[in-house]
Structure 1
């Protein structure tokens, strides 16, 4: 590591900022690598995709506003061809994507109100 010929004392004399004339020691030892592990987030790509999803179509905005309820619904079963795929409990905060889904509905409502000039009172 090359050390510059300019010390803190020389730089402070040439500067208009007043720095006390004392030696300052700087620890230049290499820092140890951080040992903290990154948390395991398997849903992070899906969250980012939902957060970055732009609502630019009125049909899509209408569909999102109809599909995503304004309030937490009661429990229900999600079925496909009369087979129960999964069960949604009434506590929406248990859904790991709850905030992203609510944000997506909000963006759809804002698009309908701001861009399309529609009355969104029916969706609220």
Structure 2
């Protein structure tokens, strides 16, 4: 059993009593799994998100370039010190980027490609 099958099996077995109880309370005889909620509203970033998610990493040079140019942690978070005291803290602003999750995932896929397919040491990028 692979990871996907194991996860689906666990999700269904964990939610089965809830679904069964829900259906019995509504006096229905068929068992259905509730549909996942769909996003509402217009998402102008969807085409770019979709493109980043579908981008395949097939070249070692491209993977190195992505790992070098996408930071491992937010470069904007810092403390401003004056006279040995923290004057104020600048919070991480990367979460404000609407494509943050996709870019971080792309970097992770590039690291995995370098480690798994090319057999290179990726400790330089971590």
TM bracket, shorter-chain basis: 0.5 to 0.7
Aligned residue in 2 for 1:69? 71
More helix by share: 2
Give the number of equivalent residue pairs: 75
Q: Distance in 2 between matches of 1:70 and 1:53?
A: 19
- Write out the 4+ residue segments of structure 1 that deviate beyond 4 Å after TM superposition: none
TM-score by length of 1: 0.57
Structure 1: segments with no counterpart, 5+ residues: 1-36, 76-88
Unmatched runs of 5 consecutive residues or more in structure 2: 1-38, 78-90
Partner secondary structure for residue 41 of structure 1: coil
- TM-score, scaled relative to structure 2: 0.56
Decide which structure has the larger Cα Rg and report it.
Answer: 1
What pairs with 1:25-36 in structure 2 (closer than 5 Å)?
Answer: none
Match of 1:45 in 2: 47
C-alpha separation in 2, matches of 1:38 and 1:102: 24
Query: Shift of the alpha carbon at 1:121?
Result: 0.3
Could you tell me which residue of structure 1 aligns to residue 29 of structure 2?
none
- 1:27 corresponds in structure 2 to none
* Cα RMSD after superposing both structures: 1.7
**How many angstroms apart in 2 are the aligned matches of 1:74 and 1:93?**
11
